[in-house]
């Protein structure tokens, strides 16, 4: 299971008018703790930012699922209710879940979300979907361990 953290990075960026401007951009990082999230975002951002930068904020992001689409350049946050029947009370129970979808536009994001959710067995409804300012997402990718590679030789 993924533990997502939203990290805000503040740095100086050259604007369209050619003048330097301070910007704060949010990123999503998959990490085990706040400390690891900070270390990972620093490692991921360093090659893309010239000059100094600071990690100005880190907060836990409760995201149940992430659907990436390499052709998309924007991230959309969607709220989906999964509907189940409470047999004791005889009423419908809705469980909210937040999902992130990468797409080119809102229409594509909704289409991708519906496509992915149609494979589930439970009933669901899309409550909301909105574009986010998230610049990029860094999922955890296991690195080959030095000890593992020595054992294999």
CA-CA distance, 86 to 78, in Å (whole number)?
25
The CATH number of domain 1-61, selected from 3.50.50.60, 3.40.50.2000, 3.10.20.10, 3.20.20.70: 3.10.20.10
Domain coordinates in residue numbering, the chain:
1-61, 62-132
CA-CA distance, 113 to 148, in Å (whole number)?
38
Q: Kindly state the average pLDDT of the residues 49-58.
A: 92
| pLDDT above 90: residue 121 | no
Each residue's pLDDT tens digit, 81-118? 999 988 888 888 999 999 999 999 999 999 999 999 99
Q: Which two tokens stand for residue 98?
A: 């937040």
**What pTM, to 2 d.p., does this model score?**
0.84
Question: What's the sign of the alpha-carbon dihedral 115, 119, 125, 131?
Answer: negative
Q: What is the CATH number of domain 62-132?
A: 3.30.1280
CA-CA distance, 58 to 55, in Å (whole number)?
8
| pLDDT above 90: residue 137 | yes
pLDDT at 150: 47
Residue indicated by tokens 């999902």: 99
What SS3 string covers the chain?
CCCEEEEEEEEEEECCCCCEEEEEEEEEEECCCHHHHHHHHHHHHHHHCCCCEEEEEEEEECCCEEECCCCCCEEEEEEEEEEEEECCCCEEEEEEEEEEEEECCHHHHHHHHHHHHCCCCCEEEEEEEEECCCCCEECCCCCCCHHHHHHHC
DSSP secondary structure letter of residue 149: H
| pLDDT above 90: residue 148 | no
């Amino acid at each position: 299971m993924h533990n997502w953290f939203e990290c805000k990075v503040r740095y100086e960026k050259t604007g369209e008018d050619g003048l330097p401007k301070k910007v704060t951009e949010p990123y999503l990082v998959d990490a085990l703790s706040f400390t690891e999230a900070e270390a990972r975002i620093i490692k991921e951002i360093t090659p893309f930012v010239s000059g100094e930068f600071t990690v100005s904020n880190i907060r836990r992001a409760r995201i149940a699922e992430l659907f990436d689409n390499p052709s998309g350049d924007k991230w959309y946050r969607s709220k989906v209710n999964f509907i189940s029947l409470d047999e004791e009370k005889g009423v419908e129970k809705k469980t909210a879940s937040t999902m992130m979808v990468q797409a080119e536009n809102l229409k594509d994001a909704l289409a991708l979300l519906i496509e992915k959710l149609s494979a589930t067995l439970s009933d669901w409804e899309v409550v909301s979907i909105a574009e986010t300012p998230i610049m990029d997402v860094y999922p955890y990718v296991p690195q080959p361990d030095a000890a593992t590679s020595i054992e294999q030789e």
